[in-house]
């Protein structure tokens, strides 16, 4: 069964810093990987989706990379802002399946 792990569980950075969030998965037979943002008590906002054939995707200050063979993805956030404070979740969709397997998330705090 696919296991998705995110390290670190929590991260605090001063405003303006660049940072990297990590996601690893045990089964490399994935169809795609999606990064989400979750604010406290709220739903999940999709940030980026990377197909298994892609190496990276960019949206504004966010860049997500995927190394399928090593079972890793990273989410790079440039020039962090206090509004980036949230929990960031990665989720993988297996080849041949419909559902997402989620990691436990990284809780990011950006200090003004």
Partner 1 sequence: EPEVTQTPSHQVTQMGQEVILRCVPISNHLYFYWYRQILGQKVEFLVSFYNNEISEKSEIFDDQFSVERPDGSNFTLKIRSTKLEDSAMYFCASRVRLAGVGSTDTQYFGPGTRLTVL
Closest approach, Cβ 102 to partner 1, in A, equals: 4
CA 97 – CA 36 distance, rounded (Å)? 19
Nearer to partner 1, 5 or 28 (CB): 5
Task: Name the one range near partner 1 by CB under 8 A: 10-18, 19-27, 59-67, 96-104.
Answer: 96-104
Residue 60 within binding range of partner 1, rule CB under 8 A: no
DSSP secondary structure of 54-78: -SEEEETTEEEEEETTTTEEEEEE-
Q: Could you tell me whether strands 10-14 and 106-111 are parallel, antiparallel, or unpaired per DSSP bridges?
A: parallel
Neighbouring C-alpha atoms within 13 Å toward the C-beta of 19 = 22
Closest approach, Cβ 58 to partner 1, in A, equals: 13
The residues of the shown chain that bind partner 1, judged by CB under 8 A, are 31-32, 34, 36, 41-46, 49, 51, 89, 91, 93, 97-105
């Amino acid at each position: 069964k696919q296991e998705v792990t995110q390290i670190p569980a929590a991260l605090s950075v001063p405003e303006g810093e660049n940072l990297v969030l990590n996601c690893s998965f045990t089964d490399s037979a994935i169809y795609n990987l999606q990064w989400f943002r979750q604010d406290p008590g709220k739903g999940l906002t999709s940030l980026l989706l990377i197909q298994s054939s892609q190496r990276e995707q960019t949206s504004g200050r966010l860049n997500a990379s995927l190394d399928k063979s090593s079972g890793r993805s990273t989410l790079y956030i440039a020039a962090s802002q206090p509004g980036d404070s949230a929990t960031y979740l990665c989720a993988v969709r297996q080849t041949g399946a419909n559902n997402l397997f989620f990691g436990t998330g990284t809780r990011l705090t950006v200090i003004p």
